[in-house]
Amino acid sequence: MAIDANFSLRGQLLVAMPSIADEAFEHTVIYVCEHQPEGAVGLIINQPLPYELGFMFDQLQIKSDSKKQKAKPLLFGGPVQPERGFVIHRPFGDWRSSLTLGDDVTITTSNDIIRAIACDDGPEDALVALGFVAWGAGQLDKEIEAKWLVCPYDARLLYEVPFDKRWEETPLGIGVDIHQLISTGGGHA
């Protein structure tokens, strides 16, 4: 599939097609942070790790008395640089190292937001992910047909829908039942 150099999937959601056999991407939903001819970057938004946020606080030696924050899930954002943390949140706030991608999507990589979350002073809606997904020049464009269903961004899917329901619910926004797709086929919106 040839994609126009001016076309960007930035801010869209990618839903793994049933045919994806790679365990790292099976049943994933990815928020596309950047998509340019040079490559693409995204964060998996539906794969909780076996650790809670309290684990990250401990690793960063951040004191937290908030049982609520400590118990929040820590997400697998992707296989690239799994030691690197990303916080997807709303509202924007006054955090260092933040990139606003939309009215209700900001990605912050600095520890000041983690410290604020630990003290219940962070954004109300926040996902903390370790690692990210990356594609080289033209790679994502080639994968779209067979591996990914492109769906429009919906804040409800990012901040409200339970993680285990996101893979099935995201394509419903474009009228697609993911279970009805032929496992060898592809599709996109």
Which CATH number does the domain housing residue 93 bear?
Answer: 3.40.1740.10
What is the average pLDDT value for the chain, to the nearest integer? Answer: 89
Single-letter code of the amino acid located at 23:
E
Query: Where does the pLDDT of residue 124 fall: very low under 50, low under 70, confident under 90, or very high at 90 and above?
Result: confident
Looking at residue 2, what is its pLDDT? 45
Q: Is beta strand 73-76 parallel, antiparallel or unpaired with respect to 125-135?
A: parallel
Single-letter code of the amino acid located at 17:
M
Looking at residue 92, what is its pLDDT? 85
Looking at residue 36, what is its pLDDT? 92
Distance CA 45, CA 27 (A): 11
Yes or no: say if 116 and 91 are a contact pair by the CB < 8 Å rule.
Answer: no
Is 4 a domain residue? no
Is 186 a domain residue? no
Looking at residue 170, what is its pLDDT? 95
Is 53 a domain residue? yes
Is 185 a domain residue? no
Residue 75 main-chain phi, psi, to 5 deg: -100, 150
Is 98 a domain residue? yes
Does this model's pTM top 0.95? My answer is no
Q: Which residues of 82-121 are buried (b: 16+ CB within 10 A; e: fewer)?
A: eeebbbbbbeebebeebeebeebbbbbeebebbbbbbeee
pLDDT of 189 higher than 80? no
Looking at residue 4, what is its pLDDT? 52
- The predicted-structure confidence for 154-187, as pLDDT tens digits, reads as follows 999 999 999 999 999 999 999 998 988 764 444 4
* E strand residue ranges, 70-183: 73-76, 80-90, 98-102, 105-108, 125-135, 148-151
Is 84 a domain residue? yes
Total domain count for the chain? 1
Looking at residue 12, what is its pLDDT? 94
**67: containing domain:** 13-180
Distance CA 134, CA 16 (A): 15
Is 3 a domain residue? no
Is 1 a domain residue? no
Percentage with pLDDT > 90 across the chain: 72
- The predicted-structure confidence for 56-97, as pLDDT tens digits, reads as follows 999 999 999 999 999 999 999 999 999 999 999 998 888 889
Residue 100: both structure tokens together: 């606003």
